[in-house]
Amino acid sequence: MMGGVAAILLIVLLYLLTIIVHCVWTNRMNKNARALGARDMEHTPAWAVGYYFIPSPVERPVGELARV
């Protein structure tokens, strides 16, 4: 029984770590694109990450990744 709880805890921790890494990556990707000369970026790096946490159409986060 304890092995099942440990496995679930490990899965949840890995899931949260994946979310954090993805958000950091998205932020850095947006910043690097701007530093390399991207001019038509619609949102700041913070908003590129923030759109994942605001209920909105799926197009926004995917659109930010596609602009890079």
* CB 26, CB 48: distance < 8 Å: yes
Residues 6+ apart with CB under 8 A from 8: none
pTM over 0.85: no
Domain count, the chain: 1
Report the alpha-carbon distance of residue 6 to residue 60 in Å, rounded.
Answer: 36
Q: How confident is the model at residue 39 (pLDDT cuts 50, 70, 90)?
A: confident
Place of tokens 């991207």: 38
pLDDT at 1 exceeding the cut of 80: no
Domain range for 38: 2-67
As a whole-number percent, the residues of the chain with pLDDT over 90 amount to 43
Place of tokens 């850095």: 28
Report the alpha-carbon distance of residue 57 to residue 33 in Å, rounded.
Answer: 23
What count of other Cβ atoms lies within 10 Å of the Cβ of residue 51? 20
pLDDT value at position 64? Answer: 63
